Amino acid sequence: MAGTSLVSTSSEYSDTLLQGDTCCNPFSMGAIKKMVERKIPGIYVLSLEIGNSLTEDMENSFFLNSNRQVEQVCEQISKDVNLQNGYNAMGFSQGGQFLRAVAQRCPFPPMLNLISFGGQHQGVYGFPRCPGESSHICDWIRKTLNLGAYTKAVQEHLVQAQYWHDPLNEEQYRNSSIFLADINQERYLNESYRKNLMALKKFVLVKFLKDSMVDPAESEWFGFYRPAQAKEIVPLQESLIYTEDRLGLKEMDKAGQLVFLASDGQHLQFSEDWFYSNILPFLQ
């Protein structure tokens, strides 16, 4: 889970976790950390570093098995005395689904609110900035990626393959995906995953309306391509993960625990004012 940050206050209910590219980049996670600290005096901010350096942290975001990253984060937060009363979590891009795995697998200390910025919760089926439905070249690229994405070696060692979701071959995806298919309950039902996710006060999903990095961008709101094709999008409320309520999202939606936000920008682009107005209330 390279590039994760935890933000926590001394208050019993205001701890928070963030995840993005690297833990401490002053232009990304470091800047977010400072924004939160400016607005919430005395807040405790922990940036989770997976590895012993920024370089290793970055490399791990590509090559360290996602399941192992989640294990390391769970161990780290369980030992942090500042987080024992609960914390809020913010995940950026792949950090969104990684932190959801933390919520589902590691209920102690409790995650109170989870904020996902552009997280690929139903996976991706496209090369960044190359939407397949509008280009034959892009479609060829993703078909080529498919040739190796579900092999055991690639699944074990390439993080992005662990949330590669091929709608043209759902069976292969379910059988071979070692991370996303598990946390989305697509092979068998783990009742603890459902129970733990439903314990969140709020699950905030931020979608970037001009996103060309995530294909399809609707994955950021749990939408995805209809099976057997790669053009028509099925929104969350019409998907099996919702109608069968595999993760408790249907119940959470009805209870007002799901929050859908949108930012009118490219992937992870938002203004400080937008952040303060839309996100800060979930951290206080």
Query: Among all residues, which ones are annotated catalytic?
Result: 93, 211, 267
Among candidates 92, 130, 124, which has minimal Cα distance to 216?
124
Neighbours of 136 (CB within 10 A): 8
120/176 Cα distance (integer angstroms):
18
187, containing H or E segment: none
Q: 191-198 and 94-105 helices cross at what angle (nearest 10)?
A: 110
Among candidates 128, 73, 77, which has minimal Cα distance to 98?
73
231/138 Cα distance (integer angstroms):
13
* Burial tier of 16 (Cβ tally within 10 Å: 0-12, 13-18, 19+): buried
203, 119 Cβ separation under 8 angstroms: no
For the CA atoms of 274, 279, 280, 284, what is the dihedral angle to 10 degrees?
170
Q: What are the backbone dihedrals phi and psi of residue 252, each rounded to the nearest 5 degrees, phi first? A: -65, -40
Q: What are the backbone dihedrals phi and psi of residue 206, each rounded to the nearest 5 degrees, phi first? A: -100, 125
63/69 Cα distance (integer angstroms):
10
Q: Which residues contact 24 (CB under 8 A, 6 or more apart)?
A: 30, 47, 49, 54, 57
Spell 258-273 as b/e; 16+ CB within 10 A means b. bbebebeeebbebeee
Name the β-bridge partners of 115. 90, 204
